[in-house]
């Protein structure tokens, strides 16, 4: 049976993960399956940011590469995942706003 697991995290300005325009945090759960979609949305429509996901061995699993403004929505990724992952948001030094992160993982 195949189901969809959604890893959702809302990052707030007061979150201790923020430091000089960079936020990092772990996925809430151990995830296993295929990462199909990465969706990140900032609270402010003019916010520029980059987003990366690292595995437990500090290897980059996903890298937005280019700057996104307000929304990053990449789908049809087909990236195998297993374990806990560290999510990073990079932005201007002053960036400490609310961000919504949604990872859609197809589990089998």
DSSP string, the chain: --EEEEEEEEE-TT-TTEETTEEEEE-SS-EEEEEEEEEEEESSTT-EEEEEEE-TTS-EEEE--S-EESEEEEEEEEEEEEE--EEEEE--TT----EEEEEEEEE-
Determine contact, residues 34/80, Cβ cutoff 8 Å: yes
- CATH entry 2.60.120.380 includes domain 3-107: yes
Instruction: Work out the average pLDDT over 2-31.
Output: 77
pLDDT (0 to 100) of residue 9: 78
pLDDT band per the 50, 70, 90 thresholds, residue 1: very low
- 43-101 pLDDT, tens digit per residue, is 889 999 999 999 999 999 999 989 999 999 999 999 999 999 999 999 877 777 888 89
């Amino acid at each position: 049976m195949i189901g969809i697991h959604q890893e959702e995290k809302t990052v707030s300005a007061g979150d201790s993960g923020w430091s000089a325009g960079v936020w990092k945090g772990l996925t809430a759960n151990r995830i296993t399956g295929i990462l199909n979609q990465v969706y990140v949305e900032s609270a402010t429509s003019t916010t520029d940011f980059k987003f990366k996901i690292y595995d437990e061995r500090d290897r980059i699993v996903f890298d937005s590469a280019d700057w996104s403004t307000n929304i990053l929505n990449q789908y049809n990724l087909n990236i195998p995942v297993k374990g806990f992952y560290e999510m990073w948001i990079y932005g201007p030094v002053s960036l400490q706003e609310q961000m919504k992160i949604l990872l859609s993982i197809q589990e089998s």
